[in-house]
Each structure stands twice: as structure tokens, then as C-alpha cells.
Amino acid sequence: MWLRSANKDDLKAVHQLLVKTWHATFDDVLGVETVNTVTGEYHSVAALTRNLAKPYSEFVVADDGEGNLVGMAFASQSKAGVAELHQLYVDPEQQVQGIGTMLLAEIEMAFPDVEKLALEVIEKNQKALDFYSRKGFEKTGETKDWGTLKLDINVIKMEKPLTGWSM
């Protein structure tokens, strides 16, 4: 398994990974139409291209060594001392093999001047909530703010202090 910075040639494969992962995870929770809307808006190649160009960010992919992307993570520094993990996804067929842990560690190390890492998880995604709790994240609040999408789904806000990575 290789972790590397994403590049523009990866974006179609990243989009496909996100669509596959979102359908496997959220079709039963949000419905197929909503998943299509979310992946079409937030995980499109155009949206991923904007993420790739975003300053103060880290966009990494997990490559199986044979050219297949099996995971991805994207985070950006939102304000002084805080980075936000926007996306961390692993192919459903490759989960529970340490790929998510490796991606998270890479993101944590990418922001040496950041004191905490924040994220949001859909409340009904218990697998993700458990993963982040095991990795030291704690619940800090809840929201229903989905940006431009108006969904009545609760989202859990979590944070983790980042210490020990300073250079």
C-alpha cells in the first residue's frame, strides 16, 4: 500500500471511489437519490479539482501498488490552529485493513502548526463514529447544516487535539 499526494490524473478514480463508498454506506440511510445528489455536488471531478488546488490543504490517496486507488483523504486548514478533515474514505471491499488509519495519520502529520483536527460525521454512520472515537476524536456538538443541500439528517461534530507532530 502506498500513500501519495493526489494529482489531477487521480480525480476520476477518486470520484468513482467516493460514489461507490457513498452508495455502499448511505443508500439505506439517505436514499439513492440523495446519495446521487451529494456525490454529484460534493464529490464531482470539478469539486475534487477545486480541493486539489485549495491552499493550506492536503489531498492524499492510497494506491494498492497496481494503480488502483483504494482510499483517499482531504483536509484543509480552516483557521489558525485548526484543520478540518473533509473526506476520508476507503473502498468498502478494502476496509478494516489499516488503510483509513494510515490516511488519518498522514493527514495529522500534514499540519505541523495545527493544534486540533475537526471533522463531521453523519450520526447514522456508526462505523465511522466508532473509528474516529478509537482514533482519539471526541464529540463537540451536532448540526444539520449541509451547506447548499437541505437535508434533515443530524451530523456529529468531533475534534482531536494534535500534539507531538510539531517540527
Q: What is the pLDDT of residue 117?
A: 95
Asked if residue 150 has pLDDT above 90, the reply is no
The whole domain housing 54 covers 2-114
H or E segment to which residue 120 belongs: strand 116-122
**CA 37/CA 90 separation, integer angstroms:** 20
In a domain, 63, yes or no: yes
Helix (H) or strand (E) holding 59: strand 57-63
Cα end-to-end distance, the chain, whole Å: 26
Any domain includes 142: no
Residue 27 lies in a domain: yes
How confident is the model over 72-123, as pLDDT tens digits? 999 999 788 899 999 999 999 988 888 999 999 999 999 888 899 999 998 8
Which H, E and C letters describe 34-59, residue by residue? HHHHHHHHHCCHHHHHHHHHCCCEEE
Please tell me the pTM assigned to this model: 0.89
**CATH number, domain containing residue 72:** 3.40.630.30
Counted domains in the chain: 1
Residue 73, φ and ψ in degrees, nearest 5? -150, 145
User: Distance between CA atoms of 90 and 111, rounded to whole angstroms?
Assistant: 22
